[in-house]
Structure 1
Amino acid sequence: MAHILLFEDNLSIPYSNKGFIDEAINDHDLVIVGDAPAMWTALQHRQADILIVDLGTPDDYGQGIVTHMQENYPGTGLLVLTHGDQQDLRSQGLLLGADQILTKPVSASKLAAHVVALYRRIKRHRNIVAVPSPQWRLRTTERQLQVNESLPVDLTEKEFNFLQLLTSSSHPIARDTLNREMRIDITGDERRDTKKIDMLIYRLRRKVKKSLRVDLPVRNAYGTGYSLTAKLKQI
């Protein structure tokens, strides 16, 4: 069964794309959202095979979505619907990593054909590259991070506290909560305070990539905060 997430930012026309998909694809479940926060929340709670984004405004908003999907959900197929005056978005979106960009109006049969073809390609790719999930461990006594049986990497106190906080919640933890719990100095300047936690995580990502040769299993929840993308076991 294909798990499809549909983001339409203009719901004044009731779910026209939903009708196209329901008519042409039998074995699927479809979730519809009308704004970006709801879309990111849906993706965090359940992996989508395909995200269809119907953009109604010719600005760089769509490019931000494509970039974030490529960085944080590379296993999800991305199909973007644009309007005729969004040719720049079409070209840039393909370069940034969208799988398909279709110009509206698009027929039900054409939309369905692209969805089916994209889903088949995703399933085939998953079957080819399927590998065991990395086993992450947070060593509390030594204050270290380890993946599988590799040599662990030493963590600073704040890096360790950050990862330990993420293990305590299945939902993203807001930056201000992280700042408070990790006792990061607060200046009162929201932009500056946000940059402090972001820089700490940026350095931690580089350290893990260099030492463990894998990406840190932490996701930026698009303005909400940070969450884990894999189980992190404390030992």
Structure 2
Amino acid sequence: MKPEVLIVEDDRKISNLISIYLTNEGYSVKQAYDGEEGKELYLLHRPCLLILDLMLPKWSGEELCRFVKEESKDSPGVIMLSAKGTTEDRISGLRLGADDYMTKPFSPEELMAHVEAVLRRTGHVCQKLSHEGLEVKPRKGEVWLDGERLELTHYEFNLLYFMMEHKDQVFSREQLLEQIHPHGEVDIMARTIDAHIKKLRRKIETDVSEPKRIVTVRGMGYKYASH
């Protein structure tokens, strides 16, 4: 099952159309038709992504976006929808904390691509992962090893989750870098991944000289080994 998505849109036709497309793609969907209901459903279900109309009754999209981004460090991804399409409007929406901004009208197919991209970039994933005593709880932002909670940085957390989600797949430094530094937000060299891997191994490996979980594949990159 793909992650849960909350649609907060007062136009029921638009909301239902988005819901149909998301459901057909395997997402679990909840719908709210004003800002207050959106807040209640967000707190109840803790979705991984909000598709949020800017102009809403009772509580505006701006207020709801600000609330969910400040309410928890593990806040969901947010795609803002608006009929306002100027550069200033887009900048305002992104500054509120939205991860993406789409102008109405839009095609449902384009929105689905944006949904996938935001979930991929933000690392907002819901499925708990575990392997041989190592457990990652993304909704709580926690990592546990043999019953003991580990202290990971934001980048280490996203890196570990991504690699565990794709066990035994080899990723280059550039591919891993793209996962933990979305939007090209930091101008850094791909070798930075080596430092993240080194620190992560110290926390999850029994013997860092012979790592069993995050394995180096010479000339190619790294993988999380399932056995």
Higher RCO, 1 or 2 (CA under 8 Å, sep at least 6)?
1
Computing the radius of gyration from Cα coordinates, the structure with the larger value is 1
